[in-house]
């Protein structure tokens, strides 16, 4: 069955006139020759001391920088930061240790992030002589800087006429400025844009972002980008497909449910795509199984999976990666209401299988049940990854450093751990076996949506029931990592946009195959 989908273009295009991204990215200048004469300066040092340009700066300062470092017993070990405020004519001079080892991509990003943490306004970053086998390491310093410099301030009062809205200008001294500029402008900047988009969507409150406005935020970013086809399903379309389970999650809300599909065909025409499916609950009250009040505000970010999928598709399409990728984002708001679904209700999914509702607060898996079936039926992917803030159980098990990865295939889990390590977004496996699938047998329906412990495995089994056993399938539960209560080197406090860098790395690995 292939149905014509409704394209919601008009309102999205109208919105495109205003800024689609809430936070401004710093402006990076790579092709500079003269060392700065004032302002804020950040530089890197190893265990041996300053770089060549760092030595020049020290000479301009009459040796006062090396003296200050010596007094501080600064040893250049990785991530150590020494900041000096009395080295006129500069406002601040900050030295960041880069250690002695060859720097990996994620270490370069972390160094750039540390630099951003030390520079609020315009700044100069001296990054010559980086030890790394990565091409154009300076571009990765800029990427890390941009990731950390994200600042969501659109709801803060601003005096008219102040320059608070001017973008931060960051001047970088790097060894191969042309290569760094090319890599940053043609590629890495788009990953940062994707992360910014995901963070914007995850940070915006529930009264601003609901299914239709999610789409209106995402769609303008793709205008003019080649090989992108966007489809929006409204509730009438969803009814025609028989998506009774996804529709159930939207029933209590005044905002209709939607499904957003971004199909990027930059690869060989006709090749099966990689499918990325993201949970998009624009606010999760728990529904009739109402959540307690404490920290419920934070459920405005229960769309983190869909936001990460949108960001990844944006990055992939804008750099023109040679691959076919389809991003599928079911969208609904989980609210209690007279017509909301109840615990015990039985809903029928797209393929005809029925689901007994254990708790209306287990709504993410309900979205995914219909979304993964739609994805397989309409796009026939060779691999399917779904990403969701699915369970508090995963958050408790993983803390805020690791996403949980669940698969039917240990080798695939191990591969995902490698991807995460490269990306700077780590994942760690949780179990999924036949026992978990048996636990969700229902007395009156085909399955029941909840079954106690282990919560993350049960959630995965519910979704996995609807994924063809022969299809390589990865389930990421990111409930612990999507929001960071304190800053990390490349993440300011708040919504992390977690998953864009992970899936971006996966897309690169798949495109290279």
Q: Which residues are catalytic?
A: 291, 365
Rounded Cα gap, residues 88 and 487, in angstroms: 30
Q: DSSP 3-state assignment of 334?
A: strand
Residue in the shown chain whose Cβ atom is closest to Mn ion: 361
Q: Pick from 505, 498, 512, 501: which is nearest to 199 by CA?
A: 498
- If the CB atoms of residues 130 and 395 are measured against ligand BES, the closer one turns out to be 395
Spell out the SS3 assignment of 158-227: CCCCCCCCCCCEEEEEECCHHHHHHHHHHHHHHHHHHHHHHHHHHHCCCCCCCHHHHHHHHHHHHCCCCC
Where in 296-355 is the site for ligand BES (CB under 6 A)? Answer: 302
CB of residue 391 vs ligand BES: minimum separation in angstroms?
4
Q: Is 479 in the site for ligand BES (CB under 6 A)?
A: yes
CB of residue 438 vs ligand BES: minimum separation in angstroms?
17
CB of residue 337 vs ligand BES: minimum separation in angstroms?
17
Q: DSSP 3-state assignment of 112?
A: helix
CB of residue 423 vs ligand BES: minimum separation in angstroms?
21
Q: Pick from 399, 376, 377: which is nearest to 477 by CA?
A: 399
Spell out the SS3 assignment of 433-469: CHHHHHHCCCCCCCEECCCCCCHHHHHHHHHHCCCCC
- Chain CA centroid to CA 349, Å: 28
Residues 6+ apart with CB under 8 A from 374: 241, 243, 259, 328, 350
Q: Pick from 220, 204, 300: which is nearest to 262 by CA?
A: 220
- If the CB atoms of residues 53 and 395 are measured against ligand BES, the closer one turns out to be 395
For residue 142, give both structure tokens.
Answer: 């800029």
> Are 399 and 423 in contact, with CB atoms under 8 Å apart?
no
CB of residue 149 vs ligand BES: minimum separation in angstroms?
26
Residue choice 354, 359, 442, 484 for contact with ligand BES (CB under 6 A): 359
Residue choice 89, 167, 205, 392 for contact with ligand BES (CB under 6 A): 392
φ, ψ at 137 (rounded to 5°): -60, -25
By CB under 6 A, how many residues form the interface with ligand BES?
16
Sign of the C-alpha dihedral, residues 10, 13, 14, 20?
positive
Q: Is 361 in the site for Mn ion (CB under 5 A)?
A: yes
Q: Is 302 in the site for Zn ion (CB under 5 A)?
A: yes
CB of residue 465 vs ligand BES: minimum separation in angstroms?
15
CB of residue 493 vs ligand BES: minimum separation in angstroms?
17
Stretch that binds Zn ion, among 119-127, 146-154, 250-258, 364-372 (CB under 5 A): 364-372
Residue choice 82, 195, 371, 395 for contact with ligand BES (CB under 6 A): 395
Q: Is 356 in the site for ligand BES (CB under 6 A)?
A: no
Stretch that binds ligand BES, among 105-113, 199-207, 249-257, 385-393 (CB under 6 A): 385-393
Stretch that binds Mn ion, among 10-18, 188-196, 316-324, 362-370 (CB under 5 A): 362-370
Stretch that binds ligand BES, among 21-29, 103-111, 226-234, 391-399 (CB under 6 A): 391-399
- If the CB atoms of residues 279 and 319 are measured against Mn ion, the closer one turns out to be 279
Q: Is 389 in the site for ligand BES (CB under 6 A)?
A: yes
- If the CB atoms of residues 20 and 393 are measured against ligand BES, the closer one turns out to be 393
Where in 275-294 is the site for Zn ion (CB under 5 A)? Answer: 281, 284
Sign of the C-alpha dihedral, residues 312, 317, 321, 324?
positive
Binding mask 446-465 for ligand BES (x = CB under 6 A): ----x----x----------
Q: Is 477 in the site for Mn ion (CB under 5 A)?
A: no
Q: Is 284 in the site for Mn ion (CB under 5 A)?
A: yes
What kind and span of H or E run contains 49? strand 49-50
> Are 110 and 489 in contact, with CB atoms under 8 Å apart?
yes
Phi-psi domain of 424 (left: phi exceeds 0; alpha: psi -120 through 50; beta: other):
left
- If the CB atoms of residues 82 and 281 are measured against Zn ion, the closer one turns out to be 281
By CB under 5 A, how many residues form the interface with Zn ion?
4
Q: DSSP 3-state assignment of 74?
A: coil
Residue with tokens 């287990």: 362
Rounded Cα gap, residues 36 and 142, in angstroms: 18
For residue 259, the partner it binds in Mn ion, Zn ion, ligand BES, none, with Cβ less than 5 to 8 A by kind, is none
Rounded Cα gap, residues 292 and 307, in angstroms: 25
For residue 510, the partner it binds in Zn ion, ligand BES, Mn ion, none, with Cβ less than 5 to 8 A by kind, is none
Phi-psi domain of 436 (left: phi exceeds 0; alpha: psi -120 through 50; beta: other):
alpha
Binding mask 364-383 for ligand BES (x = CB under 6 A): x-------------------
For residue 392, the partner it binds in ligand BES, Mn ion, Zn ion, none, with Cβ less than 5 to 8 A by kind, is ligand BES
Residue choice 242, 311, 364, 499 for contact with Zn ion (CB under 5 A): 364
Rounded Cα gap, residues 450 and 390, in angstroms: 12
- If the CB atoms of residues 114 and 279 are measured against Zn ion, the closer one turns out to be 279
- Interface residues with Mn ion (CB under 5 A) are 284, 361, 363
Residue numbers at the binding site for ligand BES (CB under 6 A): 284, 302, 359, 361-364, 389-393, 395, 450, 455, 479
């Amino acid at each position: 069955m292939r149905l014509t989908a409704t394209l919601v273009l008009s309102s999205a295009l109208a919105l495109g006139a205003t800024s689609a991204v809430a936070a401004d990215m710093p402006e990076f200048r790579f092709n500079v020759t003269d060392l700065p004469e004032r302002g804020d300066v950040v530089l890197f040092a190893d265990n041996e001391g300053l770089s060549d340009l760092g030595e020049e700066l020290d000479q301009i300062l009459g040796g006062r920088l090396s003296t200050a470092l010596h007094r501080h017993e600064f040893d250049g070990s990785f991530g150590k930061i020494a900041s000096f405020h009395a080295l006129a004519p500069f406002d601040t001079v900050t030295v960041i240790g880069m250690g002695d080892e060859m720097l990996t991509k994620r270490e370069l990003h972390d160094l750039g992030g540390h630099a951003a943490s030390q520079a609020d306004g315009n700044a100069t970053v001296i990054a010559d002589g980086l030890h790394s086998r990565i091409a154009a390491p300076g571009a990765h310093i800029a990427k890390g800087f941009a990731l950390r410099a994200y600042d969501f301030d659109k709801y803060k009062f601003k005096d008219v006429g102040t320059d608070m809205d001017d973008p931060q200008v960051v001047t970088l001294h790097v060894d191969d400025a042309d290569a760094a500029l090319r890599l940053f402008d043609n590629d890495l900047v788009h990953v940062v844009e994707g992360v910014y988009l995901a963070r914007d969507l995850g940070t915006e409150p529930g009264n601003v972002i609901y299914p239709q406005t999610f789409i209106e935020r995402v769609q303008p970013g793709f205008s003019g980008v080649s090989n992108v086809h966007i489809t929006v399903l409204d509730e009438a379309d969803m009814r025609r497909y028989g998506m009774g389970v996804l529709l159930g999650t939207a029933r209590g809300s005044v905002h209709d449910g939607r499904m957003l599909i971004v199909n990027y065909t930059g690869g060989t025409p006709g090749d099966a795509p990689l499918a990325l499916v993201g949970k998009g609950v624009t606010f999760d009250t728990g529904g009739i199984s109402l959540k307690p009040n404490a920290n419920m505000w934070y459920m405005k970010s229960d769309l983190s999976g869909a936001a990460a999928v949108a960001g990844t598709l944006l990055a992939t399409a804008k750099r023109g990666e040679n691959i076919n990728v389809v991003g599928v984002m079911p969208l609904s708001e989980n609210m209690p209401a007279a017509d909301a679904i109840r615990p015990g209700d039985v809903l029928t999914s797209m393929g005809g299988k029925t689901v007994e509702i254990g708790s209306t607060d287990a709504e993410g898996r309900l979205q995914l049940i219909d979304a993964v079936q739609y994805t397989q039926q309409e796009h026939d992917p060779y691999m399917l990854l779904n990403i969701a803030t699915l369970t508090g159980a995963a958050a408790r098990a993983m803390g805020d450093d690791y996403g949980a990865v669940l698969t039917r295939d240990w080798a695939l889990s191990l591969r995902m751990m490698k991807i995460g390590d490269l990306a700077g977004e780590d994942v760690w496996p949780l179990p999924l076996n036949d026992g978990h699938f048996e636990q969700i047998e229902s007395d009156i329906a085909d399955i029941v949506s909840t079954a106690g412990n282990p919560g993350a495995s049960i959630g995965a089994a519910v979704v996995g029931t609807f994924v063809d056993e022969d299809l390589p399938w990865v389930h990421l539960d990111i409930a612990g990592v999507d929001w960071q209560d304190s800053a990390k080197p490349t993440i300011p406090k708040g919504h992390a946009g977690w998953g864009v860098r992970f899936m971006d790395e996966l897309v690169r690995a798949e495109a290279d195959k």
